[in-house]
């Protein structure tokens, strides 16, 4: 529910932030449902991502000043609010010259896409990747970062009534091929691999049959990274894929990466700089968004949980 709270007193190392915009992500819903791997102590404010403007800083704060834009440095900040007072080390400064919606959706999906493309296989321009849930926030970021890096992308989506419209939107973002899950097991896939190499990297956000079919097209010794489970079904892998093709199965969780790199702020800064430069050059845009005033949060939460929604709900604060 929507509640009025007192803004806490500003401590020496604190930053008073006016939140500007915050998306609703699947992980936010899972946290509210109590099924996510991290849960905030109750009572809690929802929202793990967003952008705010610094209003005031404590006397010991050195890296931020009033007027700066900031995003959460980690999950669990509670961004669905109009104002908040946070310790300086829980915030990251971002440039003010990037679009508001890009900043609001920067800390989860683009970071996940960036890390998965960089950390599991050494990919060179001309190499290809394959991913399912290609119309998700991460999927859209993967398409654009891959294109900017000279990589080819094969993008798998579920069949739907407005499929041609979705295919066109993903191709406009830079997708090389868009196929449905049913097409993965059809001979037409051979046509695709006449012009591009088989992928060394597969990104899985679905699980179940979609994963098994996608795995067929992975190169020997290739890697499949699972970062979501939208089908709520286990990953099924034929024994032959392990024995004869030596495929590797890995997992990725952005929150864990941040924990592992808490003492390595240089890696975090390099990633954020790279992403902000892509945004400034127009090579990375925000996912398709629907902007919703905070008081209409119930409608936004309901819309997020509907199937086949390709637009991210963004609370305007």
Among candidate residues 36, 69, 86, 227, the one labeled active-site is: 36
Nearest by Cα to 20 from 289, 311, 291, 304:
291
How are beta strands 201-204 and 128-131 bridged, if at all? parallel
Paired tokens of 170: 């993903």
Spatial distance between the Cα atoms of 38 and 34, rounded to a whole number of angstroms? 9
Peptide bond into 43 cis (omega under 30): yes
Beta bridge partners of 53: 18, 69
Phi, psi at 211, each rounded to 5°? -70, -45
Q: Do residues 153 and 174 touch, judged by C-beta distance below 8 A?
A: yes
Burial level of 157, CB count in 10 A (0-12/13-18/19+)? buried
Please say if 36 is a catalytic residue: yes
What span, in angstroms and rounded, lies between the C-alpha atoms of 254 and 73?
A: 11
Taking a C-beta distance cutoff of 8 angstroms, is the pair 291, 22 a contact? no
Q: What is d(CA 22, CA 105) in angstroms, rounded to the nearest whole number?
A: 7
CA distance 272 to 108: 11
The gap from C-alpha 305 to its chain's centroid, in whole angstroms, comes to: 17
Query: Residues 56, 83: contact at Cβ < 8 Å?
Result: no
Give the CA count within 13 Å in the CB-facing half-sphere of 152: 15
Catalytic residues: 36
């Amino acid at each position: 529910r929507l509640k009025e709270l007192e803004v806490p007193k500003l401590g020496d190392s604190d930053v008073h932030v006016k939140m500007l915009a915050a998306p609703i992500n699947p992980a936010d819903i899972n946290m509210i449902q109590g099924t996510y791997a991290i849960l905030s102590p109750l009572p809690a404010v929802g929202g793990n991502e967003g952008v705010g403007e610094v209003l005031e800083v404590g006397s010991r704060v050195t890296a931020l000043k009033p007027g700066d834009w900031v995003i959460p440095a980690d999950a669990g900040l509670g961004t669905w609010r109009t104002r908040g007072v946070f310790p300086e080390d829980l915030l990251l400064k971002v440039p003010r010259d990037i679009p508001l919606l890009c900043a609001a959706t920067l800390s989860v999906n683009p970071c996940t896409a960036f890390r998965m493309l960089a950390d599991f296989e050494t990919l060179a321009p001309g190499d290809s990747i394959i991913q399912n849930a290609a119309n998700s926030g991460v999927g859209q970021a993967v398409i654009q970062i891959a294109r900017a890096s000279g990589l080819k992308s094969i993008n798998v989506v579920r069949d739907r009534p407005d499929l041609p419209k979705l295919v066109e939107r993903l191709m406009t973002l830079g997708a090389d091929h868009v196929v449905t899950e049913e097409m993965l097991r059809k001979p037409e896939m051979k046509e695709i691999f006449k012009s591009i190499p088989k992928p060394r990297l597969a990104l899985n956000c679905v699980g179940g049959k979609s994963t098994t079919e996608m795995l067929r097209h992975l190169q020997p010794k290739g890697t499949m990274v699972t970062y979501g489970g939208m089908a709520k079904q286990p990953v099924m892998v034929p024994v032959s894929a392990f024995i004869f093709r030596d495929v590797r199965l890995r997992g990725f969780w952005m929150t864990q990466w941040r924990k592992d790199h808490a003492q390595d702020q240089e890696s975090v800064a390099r990633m954020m700089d790279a992403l902000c430069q892509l945004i400034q050059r127009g090579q990375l845009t925000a996912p398709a968004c629907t902007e919703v005033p905070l008081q209409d949060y119930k409608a936004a939460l309901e819309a997020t949980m509907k199937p086949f929604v390709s637009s991210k709900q963004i609370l305007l604060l």
